[in-house]
């Protein structure tokens, strides 16, 4: 039951754990908000590639492997395993198992999550290699194995690089 | 006219009233104070890779990262390093309970800022750490087990009330249950998971590492057996859901805590999960009933063994569950529990050890022994009120509706 307490604190209940109406309602709303947001984030985890606060742990045994190339302005496809313009893929992309995409890796947070990171990594490299004036875009041919299923191939492509000659 | 008739008719409490009462009831913050102490090292462990990288001249934006929002502020390199240093100092201060409110808020702020710098930083264990830090930052958890409390006592000030409204504790319990529940549910609805395909396939993928491990051959064969996983996967799902649900009820809580410790140790041994195991085991302390000193251990001061028990109990009773009283010469150790039931001798010692965080996991199974189970006596009417009732009087209605 809500009990109002005068602000001057001179009521008999003051200090005995009886709170003002505003405090009671504020507490109620804050808790309700956290509960609703948390449950929404859990639900979001079922369709979102990134599953922040969804706590879906060890979701899959899926694996992936990618052949990533730079496609130059003249159409040449150069593997990123070869350094270019002073850049190395495994320097530019380190976390989330993306440093050596040519090796078959476990997608520890699920394939959707892994592909989303790889897609973002392609864009990152395309955007953060200013000395490279020959690459038009990066492309990844990704082979994925969802759990024990057979392989599937997905092609990911970075944004076009406007600085390419 | 009888007293009953004279009493004003009570309006049945609505659900909202009950919720308000639960959220606002003042309960002991001891478990959150203990959690604060434990989470400091966990936070340091979490920050360690970022700090090591920074000391080696590399920070997150030297390699692929993906900001959540373009407007999210990014610090200059030196300031980022300084912020990590602040996080380290704040985590230490938080654990020690020095300037607790500021330290806990700063720790939360640094971890939160750093986490949301990039999608690549976010993992489930870090999200859970952030939630725990958020609750510690809003709860008054520095009034006990803290340098602040010690300084206050040194200055001759009376201690601050270690009780506070229960809502942060309820929120953290909800979040802790969500961690297990969401994980278990996501596996339950996935036929590959609950059918054992995922766990079996993972084992197959790391079979070479298993063969090179100290595990005996029969254990490796068992782990690689497909049919083993059809059962094991279901057990894992049931375990997670049992922990999520079992922690809420007193009848199953101790079992859920015991299972949770086994579960996290197994995960830590078998997988790389950053700080998750330490964090989750530490967070189990929030399920202790939030009332302090409501059990009484009576010892014989003339008995050397009993006298030894006193400092042990003082050192290990991190959740402040016991008061120690001196009893009659020659009497066995006696424990008067929260509900007034009494046990004595070895069963009492077993029961005491089962309520201490460091020994609980080892002692809890002994409570299933008939000798221990049968050793409890109902409260003696003459002694009723001797044990926890004095504290309970200070927390009216705790037994009825407070977090338990």
- Give burial (CB, 10 Å; 0-12/13-18/19+) of B176: buried
Alpha-carbon B106 to chain mean position: 22
- pLDDT computed for residue B317 by the predictor: 95
Q: Which residues contact A106 (CB under 8 A, 6 or more apart)?
A: A61, A62, A63, A97, B202, B205
* pLDDT above 70: percentage of residues in chain B: 91
Inter-chain CB pairs, A–B, below 8 Å: 119
- pLDDT computed for residue B270 by the predictor: 83
pLDDT at B71 over 60: yes
Return the axis-axis angle of helices B167-188 and B226-246, rounded to nearest 10°: 160
Between positions 46 and 65 of B, the ones with CB within 8 A of A are: 63-65
How does pLDDT run across A78-130, given as a tens digit for each residue? 999 999 999 999 999 998 889 999 999 999 899 999 999 999 999 999 999 99
Gap between the Cα atoms of B360 and B381, Å rounded: 30
- pLDDT computed for residue B386 by the predictor: 43
In chain B, residues with a C-beta closer than 8 Å to the C-beta of A54 are 124, 182, 186
Among B19, B64, B182, the residue with its CB nearest the CB of A124 is: B64
CA distance B367 to chain A (A): 33
CB contact under 8 A, A55 and B17: no
Residue A4: pLDDT band (50, 70, 90) is very low
CA distance B373 to chain A (A): 38
Contact status, residue A125 vs residue A86, Cβ threshold 8 Å? no
- pLDDT computed for residue A37 by the predictor: 97
Residue entry with tokens 């790389």:
B272
pLDDT at B278 over 90: yes
Residue B402: pLDDT band (50, 70, 90) is low
- pLDDT computed for residue B240 by the predictor: 97
- pLDDT computed for residue A72 by the predictor: 94
Residue A165: pLDDT band (50, 70, 90) is low
Residue B229: pLDDT band (50, 70, 90) is very high
Which CA distances in Å does B166 have to A134, B15, B174, B243, B404?
Answer: 62, 17, 12, 22, 11
Neighbours of B54 (CB within 10 A): 20
Instruction: Using CA coordinates, name the residue in chain A closest to B170.
Output: A31
> What is the average pLDDT value for chain B, to the nearest integer?
89
pLDDT at B45 over 80: yes
- pLDDT computed for residue B380 by the predictor: 58
Contact status, residue A33 vs residue A54, Cβ threshold 8 Å? no
Gap between the Cα atoms of B55 and B144, Å rounded: 35
- pLDDT computed for residue A161 by the predictor: 87
Which CA distances in Å does B252 have to A90, A130, B248?
Answer: 49, 60, 8
CB contact under 8 A, A31 and B182: no
How does pLDDT run across A135-149, given as a tens digit for each residue? 999 999 999 999 999
Contact status, residue B188 vs residue B194, Cβ threshold 8 Å? yes
pLDDT at B396 over 50: no
In chain B, residues with a C-beta closer than 8 Å to the C-beta of A1 are 11, 13, 17, 20-21
| pLDDT (mean) for B11-24 | 86
End-to-end CA distance of chain A: 73
Contact status, residue A148 vs residue A63, Cβ threshold 8 Å? no
CB contact under 8 A, B122 and A147: no
In chain A, residues with a C-beta closer than 8 Å to the C-beta of B266 are none
pLDDT at A2 over 60: no
- pLDDT computed for residue B381 by the predictor: 55
More confident residue, B184 or B398: B184
Tally of residues, chain A:
165
pLDDT at B30 over 90: yes
Among A24, A124, A148, the residue with its CB nearest the CB of B201 is: A148
Gap between the Cα atoms of B142 and B32, Å rounded: 9
Q: Token digits for A3?
A: 């009990």
Contact status, residue B261 vs residue B10, Cβ threshold 8 Å? no
> What is the average pLDDT value for chain A, to the nearest integer?
88
How does pLDDT run across B1-14, given as a tens digit for each residue? 344 444 556 666 78
Residue B373: pLDDT band (50, 70, 90) is confident
- Give burial (CB, 10 Å; 0-12/13-18/19+) of A164: middle
Gap between the Cα atoms of B264 and B259, Å rounded: 9
* pLDDT above 90: percentage of residues in chain B: 75
CB contact under 8 A, B63 and A61: no
ipTM of the complex model = 0.87
- Least confident stretch, A7-11, A64-68, B115-119: A7-11
pLDDT at B347 over 50: yes
Return the axis-axis angle of helices B77-96 and B30-55, rounded to nearest 10°: 150
Look up residue A73 and give its DSSP letter.
Answer: T
Look up residue A140 and give its DSSP letter.
Answer: E
């Amino acid at each position: 039951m809500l009990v109002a307490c005068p602000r001057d604190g001179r009521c008999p209940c003051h200090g005995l754990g009886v709170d003002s109406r505003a405090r009671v309602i504020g507490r109620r709303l804050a808790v309700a908000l956290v509960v609703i947001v948390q449950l929404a984030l859990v639900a979001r985890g079922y369709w979102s590639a990134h599953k922040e606060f969804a706590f879906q742990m060890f979701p899959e045994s899926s694996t992936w492997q990618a052949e990533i190339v730079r496609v130059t302005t003249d159409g040449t496809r150069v593997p990123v395993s070869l350094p270019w313009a002073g850049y190395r893929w495994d320097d530019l992309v380190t976390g989330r198992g993306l440093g050596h995409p040519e090796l078959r890796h476990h997608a520890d947070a699920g394939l959707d999550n892994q592909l989303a990171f790889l897609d973002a990594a392609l864009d990152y490299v395309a955007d953060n290699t200013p000395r490279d004036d020959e690459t038009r875009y990066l492309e990844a041919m990704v082979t994925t194995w969802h759990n024990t299923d057979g392989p599937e191939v997905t092609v990911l492509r970075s944004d076009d690089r406007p600085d390419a000659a | 006219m009888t007293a009953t008739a004279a009493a004003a008719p009570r309006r049945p409490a609505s659900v909202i009233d009950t919720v308000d009462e639960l959220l606002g009831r003042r309960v002991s913050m001891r478990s959150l104070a203990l959690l604060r102490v434990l989470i400091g090292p966990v936070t340091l462990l979490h920050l360690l890779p970022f700090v090591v990288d920074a000391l080696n001249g590399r920070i997150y934006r030297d390699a692929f990262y993906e900001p959540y929002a373009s407007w999210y502020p990014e610090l200059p390199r030196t300031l980022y390093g300084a912020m990590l240093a602040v996080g380290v100092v704040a985590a230490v201060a938080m654990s020690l309970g020095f300037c607790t409110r500021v330290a806990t808020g700063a720790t939360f702020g640094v971890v939160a800022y750093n986490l949301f710098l990039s999608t690549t930083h976010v993992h489930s264990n870090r999200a859970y750490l952030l939630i725990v830090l958020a609750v510690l930052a809003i709860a008054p958890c520095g009034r006990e087990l803290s340098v602040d409390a010690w300084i206050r006592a040194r200055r001759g000030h009376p201690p601050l009330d270690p009780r506070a409204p229960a809502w942060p504790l309820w929120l953290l319990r909800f979040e802790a249950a969500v961690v297990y529940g969401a994980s278990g549910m996501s596996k339950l609805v996935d036929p590959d998971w609950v059918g054992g395909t995922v766990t079996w396939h993972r084992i197959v993928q790391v079979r070479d590492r298993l063969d090179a491990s100290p595990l005996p051959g029969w254990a490796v064969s068992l782990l690689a057996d497909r049919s083993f996983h059809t059962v094991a996967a279901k057990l894992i799902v049931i375990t997670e859901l049992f922990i999520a649900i079992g922690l809420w009820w007193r009848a199953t809580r101790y079992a859920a805590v015991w299972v949770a410790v086994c579960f996290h140790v197994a995960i830590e041994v078998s997988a790389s999960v950053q700080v998750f195991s330490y964090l989750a085991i530490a967070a189990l302390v929030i399920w202790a009933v939030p009332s302090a000193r409501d059990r009484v251990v009576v010892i014989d001061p003339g008995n050397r063994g009993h006298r030894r028990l006193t400092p042990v109990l003082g050192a290990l009773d991190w959740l402040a569950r016991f008061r120690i009283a001196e009893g009659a010469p020659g009497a066995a150790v006696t424990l008067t529990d929260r509900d007034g039931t009494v046990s004595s001798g070895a069963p009492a010692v077993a029961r005491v050890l089962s309520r201490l965080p460091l020994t609980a996991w080892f002692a809890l199974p002994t409570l299933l022994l008939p000798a221990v189970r049968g050793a409890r006596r109902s409260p003696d009417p003459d002694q009723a009120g001797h044990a926890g009732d004095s504290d309970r009087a200070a927390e009216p209605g705790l037994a009825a509706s407070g977090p338990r």
